[in-house]
Structure 1
């Protein structure tokens, strides 16, 4: 088994405000040798006041962070927001 670590972060609106509790954060593992990509999901429920999230015990690799706004959000019709990590 390779190195394992924890990925943490905070999701905020473009204005810097806290995100709703049911915003979903996902990590997409990038591996060009695998035909299917792994995706890990985490809802920002650990600290809804500031949108923090944690993915514990993640293998050392490259990931893209994807944020899915809540269904009732005015941002919901937009595509997910992606950020390279």
Structure 2
């Protein structure tokens, strides 16, 4: 499936049972929305992931945490666990 970037460029995609998780390049991405989001098989947006703080972005590769969640480190130093079903933030730990 070819994913069209919303704002910058797609740097990572992960196929999940819930859809395709997309991480766009954080540089130049609007601070008003998350650069980590889920799309369905047609490319329609399902959700944006929550962030530990407003204006933060996901700057590092996504890691599988469990069957239903992933982890990704943010630009501002938070290691975040995100629910793949809905994009909700399950846990955020400051790590910088």
Query: What's the TM-score once normalised by structure 1's chain length?
Result: 0.28
Q: With a CA cutoff of 8 Å and minimum separation of 6, indicate the structure with the bigger relative contact order.
A: 1
Larger radius of gyration: 1
